[in-house]
Amino acid sequence: MRWPRRLLLLREYGRNPFSGKTMAYLTTFGNESHLAKWFFDSLVRPKKMNQDIIGYIKNVLYDKAFLDIKKASSGNSKMGAFILASCFINYMAGFLCGRKATRQDYKHFVSNYLPPIYNPSKLYKDLRCALVHNYSEGGSYWFKDSNPGLHGKVIDGRTIVNLENFIHDLENAFNKLMGDIQSDPLKKQKAIDRYNSVGILCAGGIAPKKT
């Protein structure tokens, strides 16, 4: 029997051409072109779509969400930058866990992607909750800017968070997260699940979600 070229390709990928879905298509269509279409639709297209989604997530999170923090900081909206920074942690935590981020997801992200000076529980309570929701601070931090030498120091029981250092740490966290998503199939799928279930902002509004 002479194997069609694309059928040989399937064999090289380790699939048995006479089992499961492949056999059904061979029986129904019986020619190389339909087998090639099945191969593309079932194996190639979904992989490319997933790669496109990951690339889109990376570009939007960095070019829009993260760079908005830097724009706020450089535009002298310092507390606005801190608020956006906390929101950014929430966004990244959602893509890490594969859903809308919960309190535990936020704290898990902080403990795994930010330096030890950021206490997960205190950052959630006093930055994510007190500052974002109430424009207040719960007693754990001094929010500063343009004082890199004070970053991480504790004065009167409060840890100083210097904005420029904080932004730098968030950028490192983002790069680490995207590296993990691109190299770990489980984390990649969770990021795709988060995208498909909630969507993400784009220039025209909300990016389309899978139906």
Q: pLDDT for 159-190, tens place per residue?
A: 999 999 999 999 999 999 999 999 999 999 99
pLDDT band at 44 (very low <50, low <70, confident <90, very high): very low
pLDDT band at 34 (very low <50, low <70, confident <90, very high): low
Query: Where is 31: in which H helix or E strand?
Result: none
C-alpha–C-alpha distance, residues 159 and 167, integer Å:
16
List pLDDT tens digits, range 132-163: 888 888 889 999 999 999 999 999 999 999 99
C-beta neighbour count of 131 within 10 angstroms: 20
CA angle (39, 41, 44) in 5-degree steps: 70
Q: Quick one: which of 164, 76, 153, 90 has its CA closest to 117?
A: 153
Tokens of 173: 């966290």
Average pLDDT, the chain: 80
List pLDDT tens digits, range 57-102: 999 999 999 999 999 999 999 999 999 999 999 999 999 999 999 9
Q: Which pLDDT belongs to residue 207?
A: 53
Give the start-to-end residue ranges of the domains of the chain: 1-42, 50-193
Whether the CB-CB separation of 169 and 115 falls below 8 Å is answered with yes
Tokens of 110: 């902080």
C-alpha–C-alpha distance, residues 143 and 133, integer Å:
16
